[in-house]
Amino acid sequence: MRRLFLGTLAGVILAGAAFAQDVLKPDPAIRDTIQGQLDAFMADDVGAAFEFAAPNIRRMFRTPETFGAMVRQGYPMVWRPGAVEYGDLREIGGFLWQRVLVTDRAGRQFVLEYQMQDLLGDWRIAGVRVVPAPGISA
């Protein structure tokens, strides 16, 4: 019984260590890209915000105006954030995801994950998803 317990404990510890390896060192360039887009939205400069989008997003929305309308309607907490905190940078399924906690101007909090794409040394945003979290609105 003791061997079973120790074996199970070792397995849990190793699994935890493998999971922890997915957390990467923070990358200031990734944070600068996300913050640059947020700053552009705050300034109502959808053209500048669109420049931070990866090619897949640019193809999907085609114009800065269409992109801006989607963000205003679908991600109002990104369009006008009250506060922004950067969390973990993780590699998931071969992609880099930057977790960001956004508090909107009404005080509601949202956990967002930004999928990042490296284009010849320049980071671009390839997607954003809202992550449900206990005690945080989504």
pLDDT along the chain (138 residues), means of 10: 44 44 85 98 97 97 97 95 96 94 95 96 96 65
For residue 84, what are its two tokens?
């922004």
Note the pLDDT of residue 23: 86
CA dist., res. 37 & res. 49, Å (int): 5
Report yes or no: 81 and 102 within 8 Å, Cβ to Cβ: yes
Q: What is the dihedral of CA 9, 11, 15, 17, to 10 degrees?
A: 70
Note the pLDDT of residue 132: 82
Report yes or no: 45 and 67 within 8 Å, Cβ to Cβ: no
Note the pLDDT of residue 22: 78
* Among 135, 136, 114, residue whose Cα is nearest residue 125: 114
Model's pTM, two decimal places?
Answer: 0.79
Note the pLDDT of residue 12: 41
